[in-house]
Amino acid sequence: MQIKVSARHGHLSEEHQDQIRQKVDKLLHYFDRITMIEVTVDLADKLHRKVEILVDAEHKHDFVAKDEAEDLMVAVDLTVDRIKHQIHKYKEKVQARR
């Protein structure tokens, strides 16, 4: 699985990149068919940090979540929670068909 972390309108420190990678790496516990995770952080607005996560999984369209907050890691947590909810909803849907 690949994890790509990128920033728009600024630069993320290595420490922040590592923290983001650790948080999104936990998504594998919820869905093991994930092939790639792309995290994009928008640093244009000083008051609100915008985070977008794209998760590419086998046999499924991408999961996409966006959120924003004043603190970068809070925005990452909110976005990861949205992705977890989408994955959980998808797994329930698939299991209900059987």
Which class for 76: exposed (0-12), middle (13-18), buried (19 or more C-beta within 10 A)? buried
pLDDT per position as a tens digit, 14-39:
999 999 999 999 999 988 889 999 99
| Other beta carbons within 10 Å of 71 | 10
User: H or E segment at 82?
Assistant: helix 72-97
* Average pLDDT value for the chain: 92
pLDDT single digits (tens) 49-65: 999 999 998 887 789 99
Residues 26 and 82 sit within 8 Å (Cβ to Cβ):
no
